């Protein structure tokens, strides 16, 4: 069986009890924390930044993936590394120089990853598979939690997996957006190994453990 990783996206957590929500995700067996940063330019929404990441960092020993939905994320790599980010996921559409951005993240001590919006052809990012060992396929338009999963993401994951295999690259594929118990298995079958879920983990019932167990059971 292929082992999968479940990453809890804090966007749907109760920010009034953020530290407890992070600890609940860790206690529920999540493998990673997903921290969405939005700047109101690259995406039409604003979320949180470095001071909140400090609070999250102090609450968990899980790896934290900082998903930068921000124009020119290279500007902030030192700051987020200093606040404890482990993975620095940047959008190819947001960087004037993706290679330099990836390099800066690595220099700052983080693991770089690249992401792309649903409309960006995956073939366009083939070269980047030589630069990073992780990609994040968006299965919603970035900007908001709680949107429905776009099934068009599945062939994109398959194509990316095939391209990486052809290049002999052990690239890990993460998928982000609308992941729920009813579609997680399809994403895993397509080749995703890190399944990022916000409203599937923090689902409003207050029982993160039950939600994570259901996701994992459904993943197959």
Contact residues: ligand DX5, CB under 6 A: 9, 11-12, 34, 36, 67, 140, 142-147, 176-179, 196-200
- Report, as residue numbers or ranges, the catalytic residues: 36, 176
Rounded to 5°, the CA angle 60-63-68 comes to 110
Q: Mask: binding to Zn ion, 7-46, rule CB under 5 A, as x and -?
A: -----------------------------x----------
Q: Evaluate whether 117 touches 93 at the Cβ level (below 8 Å).
A: yes
- Number of residue whose CB is nearest Zn ion: 67
Nearest distance in Å: CB 180, ligand DX5: 8
Interaction partner, residue 140 (ligand DX5, Zn ion, none; CB < 5-8 Å by kind):
ligand DX5
Contact letters for Zn ion, residues 165-184 (x by CB under 5 A): -----------x--------
Instruction: Give the β-pairing of 194-197 and 64-69.
Output: unpaired
Cβ-contact 210, 176 below 8 angstroms:
no
Closer residue to Zn ion in complex, CB, 28/175 = 175
Residues 6+ apart with CB under 8 A from 213: 28, 29
- Report in angstroms how near the CB of residue 145 gets to ligand DX5 at its nearest: 4
Q: Which residues contact 177 (CB under 8 A, 6 or more apart)?
A: 138, 139, 140, 142, 147, 149, 150, 153, 196
Q: Would you say 18 or 103 has its CB closer to ligand DX5?
A: 18
Name which of 17 and 100 has its Cβ closer to ligand DX5. Answer: 17
Q: Which residues on adjacent β-strands are paired with residue 175?
A: 137, 195
């Amino acid at each position: 069986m292929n082992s999968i990783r479940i990453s809890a996206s804090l966007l749907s957590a109760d920010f009034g009890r953020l530290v407890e929500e992070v600890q609940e995700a860790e206690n529920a067996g999540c493998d990673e924390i997903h921290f969405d940063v939005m700047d109101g330019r690259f995406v039409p929404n604003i979320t949180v930044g470095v001071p909140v990441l400090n609070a999250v960092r102090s609450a968990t020993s899980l790896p934290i993936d900082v998903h930068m939905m921000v124009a020119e994320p290279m500007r902030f790599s030192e700051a987020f590394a200093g606040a404890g980010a482990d993975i620095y996921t940047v959008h190819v559409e947001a960087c004037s120089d993706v290679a330099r951005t990836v390099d800066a993240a690595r220099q700052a001590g983080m693991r770089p990853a690249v992401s792309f919006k649903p409309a960006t052809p995956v073939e366009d990012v083939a070269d980047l598979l030589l630069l990073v060992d992780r990609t994040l396929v968006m299965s919603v338009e970035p900007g908001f939690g709680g949107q429905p999963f776009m099934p068009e993401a599945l062939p994109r994951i398959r194509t990316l997996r095939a391209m990486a295999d052809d290049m002999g690259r052990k690239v890990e594929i993460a998928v982000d957006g609308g992941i729920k118990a009813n579609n997680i298995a399809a994403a895993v079958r397509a080749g995703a190994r890190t399944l990022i879920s916000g409203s599937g983990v923090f689902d409003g019932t207050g029982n993160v453990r039950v939600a994570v167990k259901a996701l994992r059971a459904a993943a197959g």
